[in-house]
Amino acid sequence: MTSMTVTRRSLLLGATAAFTLGTAARAATPTGPQLLHITRDPSCGCCTAWADLAREAGYMVEITETDDYAGMKAEAGVPEPLWACHTARVGGYIVEGHVPFAAIARLLAERPDITGIAVPGMPLDSPGMGGGLHATADVVAWGGLAGDATPFAF
């Protein structure tokens, strides 16, 4: 017969591993966690908060900093009325601003024929703007079948 002793340390390590695996699975693909590449102004604190939430949601986060705000938006093809503080790329899509992570998950699951999704401006209580991981905001889609901008409900 085998005897097993459970210590607080082994219980804590097991719980930590389960939490980490569960968190990473939320943004995972069959080959592993999704890469979310964020381009942002180096002095923007709310962009850092959104990036931290993206990590918490299970994304692998890569950040590029630039002082060329308009160039960042133009390079990504974001229509000016949809501009926000940071621009991200994930799974072949553009994600502009403080987009809720549930909307990104839906985007990646459904893979619609659009260029990207956005939360224009910097709305209070959106993810990274005072809202946490599960915060919501009005999201719009653009490009492809969405045209200039249409609601992207989730």
Read off the tokens for 57.
């949601």
pLDDT at position 71 is 94
Contacts of 116 (CB under 8 A, 6+ apart): 76, 78, 93, 94, 95, 96, 141, 142, 143
Give per-10-residue mean pLDDT for the chain (154 aa): 40 36 44 88 90 96 95 95 96 97 96 96 95 95 84 77
DSSP 8-state assignment for residue 82: G
Specify the pLDDT at position 32: 67
Least Cα distance to 141 among 128, 150, 129 occurs for: 150
130: left (phi over 0), alpha (psi -120 to 50) or beta: left
Segments making up each domain of the chain, as ranges: 35-151
Q: Across-strand partners of 88?
A: 38, 95
Quickly tell me which residue has 């002095």 as its tokens.
43
- Of all helices (H) and strands (E), which one includes residue 8? helix 8-26
Which residues does residue 13 pair with via DSSP β-bridges, in sequence order? none
